C-alpha cells in the first residue's frame, strides 16, 4: 500500500509499505478520506519526536476491510470513523474516565501516527476496534464527519474542560481549525459572548460565521486591551488557548477575570513561563486545564449526532482537496499556510 512516512526532520514522503496484519482485537480500515493535522506539522518539523519510518496521520474515515476474530458487532464494508485517540477501554486510566491517557502514560491513548502507524495511507490498523469504531450514519458524507476524529473533539473538549456556563464570556485565541471548533463548542456550551482572536481575515470571517460575536485581528489592535475594554475591565470567564505559543498562553491569562479558567489546547514546543502579574503570583484563584482530544466510539457517536442535527456544520473548514499521491504537495501547502488553507481532505 501507499503511505505517508516520516523520513526525518523536514521530510514526510510517500512510500510503499506492507498492508498491516490484523490481530484478534484489531480492525483493518480501507481509508476513504483523511486529513493533515497541525500536530503532523510539528512531527514534520522535528518538534515532536516519532520513529523514522512511521506512517503519520490520526484522523481516519474509512470502510472496514477486515475484522479480528474477537471483534463483534461490526460488518465488513461498514463505513466508520475512529478517533485520533484509540483507548483500550480496560486499563485503570480508561476505567477512571481518562481515556486519552490510556495505559497510565501521558498521551498514551494517542497511538495512530505516534506510537503505531497512522492513517495517511491506503489502509490503517485500528487497535481495540470494539472500543473505537463508530459507524457513520448513511445520511452523512465523509467530509461531514472528517473533523470528528480530532479537531472537533479537541476544540469541543477545550470548551468542556473550561466548564463554560450559560451566559459566560469566552475568548478563543487563534482561529485555526482547533480554535474554530473551540468557538463552535463554546457557543454550544452556552457562552453568550465569544471573542475570536486571529490575524488572517478569512479565518476571522469564518469565526464570525461559526459563533464568535467579536472578531479581533491581533495585528491591528492589542487583543488583551480590546477584550478588557469590551468587558468593562472585568475580563472573560474562560480563555481558550488554541495555538501553543508563549504569547497566546500569556494573553489568555491577561484577559481572565479572577477565578477564571484558562483552557489550554495548544501543543507547546518550547519553554512555557507564567508571568507573575497576570497569574496574580498564584493567588488569583485561576484554573489552568489541559485537554488531549477525547476519543473512543461513544465520543465519536456524540460528535456525529451534533453534525447530523445541523448544530455544527464544519464542512467549510475543508478548503483544499488532494489525492494521497500528492500528499507531499498537500504538506507543503498546509505547513506553510498558503492560499487560505484551513484543512485539507486527502483521498487515497
Q: pLDDT tens for residues 45-88? A: 998 999 999 999 999 999 999 999 999 999 999 999 999 999 99
User: What band does 303 get if pLDDT is binned at 50, 70 and 90?
Assistant: very high
Q: What is the pLDDT of residue 348?
A: 93
User: What band does 338 get if pLDDT is binned at 50, 70 and 90?
Assistant: very high
Give kind and range of the element (H or E) at residue 240. Answer: strand 236-241
CATH of the domain at 208: 3.40.50.720
Q: How far apart are the first and last CA of the chain?
A: 10
CATH of the domain at 24: 3.90.180.10
Q: Is the pLDDT of residue 271 over 90?
A: no
User: What band does 159 get if pLDDT is binned at 50, 70 and 90?
Assistant: very high
Whether residue 289 contacts residue 240, with contact meaning beta carbons closer than 8 Å, is answered with no
Residue 304 lies in a domain: no
Number of domains in the chain: 2
Residue 299 lies in a domain: no
User: What band does 268 get if pLDDT is binned at 50, 70 and 90?
Assistant: confident
Whether residue 60 contacts residue 124, with contact meaning beta carbons closer than 8 Å, is answered with yes
Q: Quick one: 138 and 193 in the same domain?
A: no
Instruction: Tell me which residue of 41, 174, 58 sits closest to 107, measured CA to CA.
Output: 58
Q: What is the pLDDT of residue 97?
A: 92
Q: Taking residues 297-310, report their average pLDDT.
A: 97
- pLDDT-above-70 percentage for the chain: 100
Q: Taking residues 153-167, report their average pLDDT.
A: 98
Q: Taking residues 259-280, report their average pLDDT.
A: 92
Instruction: Tell me which residue of 271, 270, 232, 239 sits closest to 254, measured CA to CA.
Output: 239
- Residue 298: Cβ-neighbour burial (10 angstroms; 0-12, 13-18, 19+): middle
Boundary residue ending a domain (258, 290, 322): 290
Residue 182 lies in a domain: yes
Residue 302 lies in a domain: no
Residue 270 lies in a domain: yes
Q: Quick one: 156 and 96 in the same domain?
A: no
Q: Quick one: 216 and 322 in the same domain?
A: no
Q: Quick one: 194 and 259 in the same domain?
A: yes
Residue 141 lies in a domain: yes
Q: Quick one: 231 and 326 in the same domain?
A: no
Q: Is the pLDDT of residue 270 over 90?
A: no
218-267: pLDDT as tens digits: 999 999 999 999 999 999 999 999 999 999 999 999 999 999 999 999 98
Q: What is the pLDDT of residue 105?
A: 87
Instruction: Tell me which residue has cell 510517500.
Output: 14
Q: Taking residues 35-39, report their average pLDDT.
A: 95
Q: Quick one: 171 and 127 in the same domain?
A: no
Q: Please state, rounded to an integer, the average pLDDT across all residues of the chain.
A: 96
Q: Quick one: 135 and 163 in the same domain?
A: no
Q: Taking residues 323-346, report their average pLDDT.
A: 96
Q: Chain-centre distance of CA 138, in angstroms? A: 24
Residue 295 lies in a domain: no
- Residue 63: domain span: 2-147+314-347
Q: Is this structure's pTM higher than 0.75?
A: yes
Backbone angles phi and psi of 216, in degrees to 5: -120, 120
Q: What separation in angstroms does the CA of 152 have from each of 185, 286, 345?
A: 8, 26, 15
Cβ contacts of residue 83 below 8 Å, gap of 6+?
Answer: 132, 134, 148, 149, 150, 153, 293, 294, 295, 296, 297, 299, 300
Q: What is the pLDDT of residue 13?
A: 96
Q: Chain-centre distance of CA 100, in angstroms? A: 13
Q: Quick one: 16 and 123 in the same domain?
A: yes
Amino acid at each position: 500500500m501507499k503511505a505517508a512516512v516520516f523520513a526525518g526532520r523536514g521530510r514526510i514522503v510517500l512510500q510503499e509499505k506492507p498492508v498491516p496484519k490484523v490481530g484478534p482485537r484489531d480492525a483493518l480500515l480501507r481509508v476513504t478520506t483523511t486529513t493533515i493535522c497541525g500536530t503532523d506539522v510539528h512531527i514534520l518539523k522535528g518538534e515532536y519526536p516519532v520513529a523514522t519510518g512511521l506512517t503519520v496521520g490520526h484522523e481516519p474515515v474509512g470502510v472496514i476491510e477486515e475484522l479480528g476474530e474477537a471483534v463483534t458487532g461490526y460488518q465488513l464494508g461498514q463505513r466508520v470513523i475512529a478517533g485520533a485517540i484509540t483507548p483500550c477501554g480496560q486499563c485503570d486510566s480508561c476505567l477512571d474516565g481518562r481515556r486519552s491517557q490510556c495505559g497510565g502514560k501521558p498521551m498514551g491513548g494517542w497511538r495512530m501516527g505516534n506510537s503505531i502507524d497512522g492513517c495517511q495511507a491506503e489502509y490503517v490498523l485500528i487497535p481495540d476496534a470494539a472500543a473505537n469504531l463508530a459507524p457513520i450514519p448513511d445520511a452523512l458524507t465523509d467530509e461531514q464527519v472528517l473533523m470528528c476524529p480530532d479537531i472537533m473533539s479537541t476544540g469541543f473538549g477545550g470548551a468542556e474542560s473550561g466548564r463554560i456556563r450559560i451566559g459566560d464570556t469566552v475568548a478563543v485565541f487563534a482561529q485555526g481549525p482547533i480554535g474554530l471548533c473551540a468557538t463552535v463548542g463554546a457557543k454550544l456550551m452556552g457562552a453568550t459572548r465569544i471573542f475570536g482572536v486571529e490575524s488572517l481575515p478569512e479565518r476571522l470571517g469564518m469565526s464570525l460565521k461559526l459563533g464568535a460575536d467579536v472578531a479581533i485581528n491581533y495585528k491591528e489592535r492589542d487583543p488583551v486591551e480590546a477584550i478588557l475594554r469590551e468587558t468593562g475591565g472585568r475580563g472573560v470567564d474562560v480563555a481558550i488557548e488554541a495555538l501553543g505559543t508563549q504569547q497566546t498562553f500569556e494573553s489568555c491569562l491577561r484577559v481572565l477575570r479572577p477565578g477564571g479558567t484558562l483552557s489550554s489546547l495548544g501543543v507547546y514546543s518550547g519553554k512555557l513561563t507564567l508571568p507573575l502579574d497576570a497569574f496574580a503570583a498564584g493567588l488569583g484563584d485561576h484554573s489552568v486545564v489541559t485537554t488531549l482530544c477525547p476519543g473512543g466510539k461513544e465520543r465519536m457517536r456524540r460528535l456525529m449526532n451534533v453534525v447530523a442535527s445541523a448544530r455544527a456544520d464544519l464542512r467549510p473548514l475543508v478548503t483544499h482537496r488532494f489525492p494521497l499521491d500528492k500528499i507531499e504537495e498537500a504538506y507543503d501547502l498546509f505547513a506553510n499556510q498558503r492560499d487560505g488553507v484551513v484543512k485539507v481532505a486527502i483521498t487515497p
